[in-house]
Amino acid sequence: MRKIIAGVLALGLSGCVTAQEMADAEQVRFRSFNGMTIAQFISATGLTPHGAQNIDGGRVFNVTSHSGWCSMLVFASATGTKDEANSWTITKIIRRGGCQNI
């Protein structure tokens, strides 16, 4: 009987995902946006920046999730001559809040 219970517990625990594993997967997902244009980011996430600030070497775009739980600063460098979403390439994203479902 103990072996059966131990086996059931082991099976149940093997399906659990730790907080660290979730954080690691989120980090990988957000790193995958580096190198994308802002237009590609919008297409991939469904999120549109709602403001931008020029900085040395580029621009920082403000992005908030539809739920409002996740806010991001999306750093990008100019890769084109026009001021369009496909003329800015993402170099870094700083995020705050619940961004797991982005």
Ordered by start, the domain boundaries in the chain are 19-97
Across 39-48, 52-61, 75-84, least confident range: 75-84
Does the pLDDT at position 8 exceed 50? no
Confidence (pLDDT) at 13 = 53
* Mean pLDDT confidence for 54-76: 93
Residue 64's DSSP bridge partners are: 71
Q: How far apart are CA 16 and CA 39, in angstroms?
A: 35
**pLDDT tens readout for residues 19-44:** 888 878 888 888 999 999 999 999 99
* Residue 7: pLDDT band with limits 50, 70, 90: very low
Local structure of residue 49 (DSSP, 8 states): -
Confidence (pLDDT) at 5 = 54
Strands (E), 1-102: 51-55, 58-64, 70-78, 88-97
Residue 51's DSSP bridge partners are: 62
